[in-house]
Every structure is written in structure tokens, then in C-alpha cells.
Amino acid sequence: MTTFDEREQAFEAKFAHDEEMQFKARARCNKLVGLWAAELLGKSGSSAHDYAQSVVSADLVEAGHDDIVRKLAGDLGPRASENQIRSKLLEMMPRAQEEILSEAG
């Protein structure tokens, strides 16, 4: 195997790792936002965790945050606007990334 082939394989492995970490961070972010929304809905304990999991699952519908925002806006009604939901998603992403990195290392 040539040096070029080794570099290519290393690059591909790093890319795959980075994509996996980003996917996990996004799922964690969705879970954190789901827990926030569950609190607004008056849910706690396993009910809150089940709701947060439903938010994570909702993100598998389409690319981007629009599916999450639609679900949460529908569930929360007047408790939170779409802008508040989008702000919460942006707020939680750094925390989610930090949590995933701390678990990986």
C-alpha cells in the first residue's frame, strides 16, 4: 500500500468518525430540546424521556430542523413559538457536542 493510499484511508476514516459524532450530537441536541419541551408540557420522569425520544425520532423524517420545529410547535402550541424552538435548538447544540465528546474520550 502506498503512502497516498494510507492517507486516503485515514482521511476516509476521519470523515466517517466526524459524521458519526455529528449525528450523535444532533440526536443529543434533539433529546435535550425534547426534555425542555416535555418540561413545558408538564411531563416528568419516564414520560419526559419517552417524549424526548419521540422528538429524536421525528428528526428522521427529513433533513434539517424543520421536522422537529413542526412537531414541537404543534405539541407546544402557545407555550413556545417557532423562533423560541429554533433558538433552543441552537442553544443546545454546543452542550450536546460537549457531552458527546466527553463520552467519547
> Residue 14 maps to which CATH number?
1.10.790.20
Under a CB-based contact definition with an 8 Å cutoff, are residues 34 and 55 in contact?
yes
Provide the whole-model pTM. Answer: 0.84
Spatial separation of the C-alpha atoms in residues 83 and 31, rounded to whole Å = 18
Residue at 20: amino acid letter = E
User: In this predicted model, what pLDDT tens digit does every residue of 42-97 receive, in sequence order?
Assistant: 999 999 999 999 999 988 777 778 889 999 999 999 999 999 999 999 999 999 99
Residue 105: band (very low, low, confident or very high) from pLDDT cuts 50, 70, 90: low
Q: Residue 94 belongs to what domain range?
A: 3-104
Which positions ≥6 away from 72 have C-beta within 8 Å? 33, 37, 55, 80, 85
CA atoms within 13 A on the CB side of 87: 5
Residue 4: band (very low, low, confident or very high) from pLDDT cuts 50, 70, 90: low
Domain count, the chain: 1
CA atoms within 13 A on the CB side of 32: 21
Which positions ≥6 away from 28 have C-beta within 8 Å? 96, 99, 100
